[in-house]
Amino acid sequence: MRKTEVSHGIYTSPGDRRLVINVGGRRYETFQSTLASIPDTRLAWIAGRPHETPEYDTSHNEYFFDRHSAIFEDILNYYRTGKLHCPRGVCSAVFEEELSFWGIDEEQMEPCCWPEYTRQRTAIEDLRIFNGNASDESLNSENTLNNADCVLPGRKASEDRKGLRGFYRLVQPIIWRTLEEPFSSCTAKITAIISLAFILLSVLDFVMSSVPVVPYQSTPSVIEYVCGSWFTFEFILRTAFSPSLRRQFKKPMTWVDIGALLPFYLQFFIDVGDMERIKIFIMFRLLRVFRLFRFSYRLQIMALALKGSLHELGLLLLILVISVIFFSTLVFYTDGDNKRSKFQNIPKSFWWAIITLTTVGYGDDTPVSWSGRIVGSACALWGVLMITLPISIVNSNFSLYYAHAKAMLRLPKKVVKETFSPGTKRYLSYLSALNSDINFDGYPLAGLAGAILP
């Protein structure tokens, strides 16, 4: 982070003015030079022009701001000490909004507060999908439904000419929310249950096809026909009613759906002998298991927690690679000279090192000399320490994400109150369309109706 040089420990001359700032009913006193210590901020502008700001109250000889008074203490301390700290127990979004109002760059924050500040904000941004309030698509659909009752007589013919386009705009948000938000409505829950049943049935059919008792079929079975048809129908709906095709095809789950459908259609165009040589495509059917992430918020939270811990997991992978090379080399030179040793070279020792570091210990490759066993003991102890440390970080991220997601799911839906009744809105719309040139006290009637109608 780039820090701004701030001259703290300011020497105040006897002629330095004291300014009174009233924030949310709480009065603060500070010197004018203190506020001027950090330029290009709201308080610095006040210090440069004390009586030219609209917030200045001449009757009380103070500046009044209707803002968060508790947060302002930390902001004022930033001017006094030159160190910006985030107060404990305050939502990072609220603190970010206050910093923006006072014109302070968030990157001036001290390193001790920056990780927690960004961690909470990142979690909130990642968990927008768990917001219990109506999404933009649902709000647009509700507005469309409400406006459908306010059709003007003069515009009815033009609305009818729109045909399928108007119908698509009407049903698109409803169908999209039904497919993407399984718990948003009763219809969405039924659709999710049906899709979940087809996923489990398809996975069961795939697993049972490997049993020797079940004869192998070169053509799709009845279960595969039914499941493949349902998944195709669902994929077409998601593609047709997606708000943005570009964002839709950037989602990993979209490509999971495509990969799961690929072997179903390949079986119609490839011979039986060729299918034996490209069994990898048949394994793509197993990708349907990952569709379960659509219906479990806990699985999605776990995936987001792992995503938020990528840096720690990447560091773990780097340490693992270094440790594998190090201990493989040690065990080769300490145990490789023994005739019974299985460590003939360093690459063949990689398997033993990985199994020992991850504390699995199959026992197929073991050192036979005392020096090799000492290396193996050190490798096992180091593996315990190496695996334990990142797990605590992942667990902490999961707890944070789960707490935020649980709170978002329990939020009541925000209801936007209508200012005018539907009858009044239809009447104003009709008057506006009847004659847009009629003036009402100097204001066009059309502009008046357009201003008060959403």
Which value, in Å, is the radius of gyration of the alpha carbons in the chain? 33
End-to-end CA distance of the chain: 43
Same domain, 282 and 326: no
pLDDT of residue 275: 59
Please check whether residue 49 is in contact with residue 41, taking contact to mean a CB–CB distance below 8 angstroms.
no
Q: Where residue 341 sits, what CATH number does that domain have? A: 1.10.287.70
Domain-located, residue 57 = yes
The model's pTM: 0.54
Domain-located, residue 389 = yes
Q: Where residue 272 sits, what CATH number does that domain have? A: 1.20.120.350
- Tell me how far the alpha carbon of residue 372 is from its chain's centroid: 48
pLDDT of residue 300: 77
Three-state SS at 439: strand
Q: Where residue 77 sits, what CATH number does that domain have? A: 3.30.710.10
Q: Provide the residue range defining the domain that includes 69.
A: 18-110
| Per-residue pLDDT tens over the stretch 172-224 | 888 888 888 777 788 888 888 888 888 888 888 878 877 776 555 545 578 88
In which residue are the tokens 């008060």 written? 452
Domain-located, residue 451 = no
Q: Which of 55, 73, 72 is nearest to 63 (CA)?
A: 55
Give the number of domains in the chain.
3
* Paired tokens of 6: 């701030």
Q: How far is CA 296 from CA 142, 180, 254, 408, in A?
A: 27, 12, 17, 15
Q: How far is CA 402 from CA 88, 251, 311, 397, 408, in A?
A: 20, 22, 20, 8, 10
pLDDT of residue 399: 79
Same domain, 44 and 69: yes
pLDDT of residue 143: 45
pLDDT of residue 129: 58
pLDDT of residue 104: 92
d(CA 294, CA 441): 57
Can you list the residues of the chain whose pLDDT is less than 70? 1-16, 50, 124, 126-163, 213-220, 271-282, 285, 406-454
Same domain, 172 and 288: yes
d(CA 52, CA 113): 35
> What is the number of H-type helices and E-type strands within the chain?
20, 6
Same domain, 306 and 251: no
Three-state SS at 21: strand
Please check whether residue 34 is in contact with residue 13, taking contact to mean a CB–CB distance below 8 angstroms.
no
Nearest-5° Cα angle at 22, 19 to 25: 155
Out of 84, 110, 136, a domain closes at: 110
Same domain, 306 and 401: yes
